[in-house]
Each structure stands twice: as structure tokens, then as C-alpha cells.
Amino acid sequence: MPEIKVAVIGGSGIYKLDAIKIKNQIKLHTPFGDPSAEIMEAEVDGSPFYFLPRHGHGHHYTPSEVNYRANIFALKKLGVNTVVSISAVGSLQEQYAPKHFVIVDQFIDWTKGLRKRTFFDQGIVGHVSTANPIEGSLQKRLYAACQRAGITSHDGGTYICIEGPQFSTKAESKIYRGFGASVIGMTNVPEAFLAKEAGMAYATVAMVTDYDCWKEEHCSVQEIMEVMKSNYVSAQKFVVQAIPDLVKNPVKFEAENKYAVMTDQALHRASHKEILDVILK
């Protein structure tokens, strides 16, 4: 069986996908602890990929509690080089309406330092550029898959990531709009940056559920959940279009972590080697 190179990380409302067949579940332990859940070996239209529910089965990890390092490390250890993130977001601009998908190309990190956000620590120093946190060719492929699936979608946009689990105040929401951010979420940082450190192609499909709170209209969690049900149906259609294409025609990209490590090799401990052997592979 060929090595599986593509993985989907499912966010709020995407804990499983009815359109896919689960063939196996893999329990892994990493130097950073356990991933959010067992990694599911899945298949759609004969194309194999891995699926990982970001918040765990039943949604029991808050955005700040997700072990992003373990999730990305486990996928890379399994041989994954392409990660598709499916995430629920609020809209910060009128044109990104509920039920639309936004294939973002930039991030603003507005988290508060609670999350472990790098593989390079504890005696190993490394730097990887995140100027372009999304792999552009993958972004274009995901946008094309949305178009084929008949989903109203937008190619490009900026995702601002906040700590949560509380939603924004109205004052904060207006500030974020002033930044020029397109959508707001709680999970794609540091996930995107860790994927970059691990030399993986990463892109986000941001599913809009509401207009955050900047817009003068009430929106309850119950109303958001109703939109999420609709988005779940669209996500199924998207996966059917995107995954076989990515498996049959892999994304070509240049990993930017090759020369990341600055620390002298003479100082590398066995624990460092275990990590670097995976993320620099």
C-alpha cells in the first residue's frame, strides 16, 4: 500500500465525514504528548488519506487546549506532507456571508501566549519563515475543488486567530475589521506555523458561520449551529472533490525548514534527534 501523504484536520462540527470510509484508527504517542484523537485512516472514492478531529471525538478540547504540536508531529511521522484544515470561522467583512467558504492566504496571530507554538525549543533553536504561511499552490487547488462542488467560495483572505473560548466583544470585532482581517477563528495558529516548521504544505478552508458581533444583528450559538449543519453538507462535497485530486496529483512545493536549525549539532541530544528526524524528513 502506498504511503499516505494527505491529511484533513477537521474543526468544529467536522468530527467525522459521512462521505468517507474509515479503514483503521491509529493511536500514536509523540514527544509532545498525545494527538487530539486517534488518527483515522480514511478513503474517499478509492483515495486514501488521514483524518484527525482537532477538538477530539465529541469536541472536548478548547482551542487553547488542543495539542497542536502533537497533532502535526503525528501526521508528519505517518508520512503526511499535505494538510488541509477545515475550520469554522466568523466573518469580519460583508462579502463573506454565512455558508460561504474562504480559502485564506494569511494569518494574524492574536492569541495570548498560552499555546505551545514551536518544535524548536528546549535546547534546539530554529527559525522558519512564515511570511507565506499558506502553500499557494494548495490554496488554489482547494479553491478549485470548492468551485467544482458548487460552494460559494473566496480565493484568499486573512484569518485572525484569537485565544477563545469566548467570542469577541463588539469593540474587539471592530478593531479586527480595521486590521483588514477577513475572518476570525480560534485554532489555525499555531497549527499553520507548526506545519511550516515541519516542512508541510498547509492550507485552510474557512467555513463562515456568522458575522461575528460587529454587525448589528443578533446571532446565538444555536443559530450558528444551524449554519454549521449546512456547512457540514458542503464540507462533504468539498472533500469528495478535493481529496482524490490531491492524492492522484500531489502538490509540488519546496519545504522551507531545510536550513532552519541554528544550534550546533554537537549540542543535539537524543531527544532533539528524535524530533528533528521527523520534522526535517
Q: Which pLDDT belongs to residue 22? A: 93
Q: Which residues contact 141 (CB under 8 A, 6 or more apart)?
A: 242, 245, 246, 251
Helix axes 68-77, 188-197, angle to 10 degrees: 40
- Which residues participate in catalysis according to the annotation? 210, 212
Q: Which pLDDT belongs to residue 53? A: 96
Residues of the chain with pLDDT under 70: 1-2, 218-220
Q: Which pLDDT belongs to residue 237? A: 95
Are the CB atoms for 231 and 99 separated by under 8 Å? yes
Instruction: Report the percentage of the chain scoring pLDDT > 90.
Output: 88
Q: Which pLDDT belongs to residue 228? A: 87
Residue 161 three-state SS = strand
- State the amino acid at position 92 in one-letter form: L
Task: Record the cell numbers describing residue 264, joined without a space.
Answer: 550546533
Domains of the chain: 6-87+111-158+185-205+235-274 (3.40.50.1580)
Q: Which pLDDT belongs to residue 219? A: 66
Q: Which pLDDT belongs to residue 273? A: 95
Q: Which pLDDT belongs to residue 216? A: 77
Query: 235: number of CA atoms within 13 Å, CB side?
Result: 29
CA angle, 36 as apex, 30 and 37 as ends, to 5°? 95
Q: Which pLDDT belongs to residue 218? A: 63
Q: Which pLDDT belongs to residue 1? A: 54
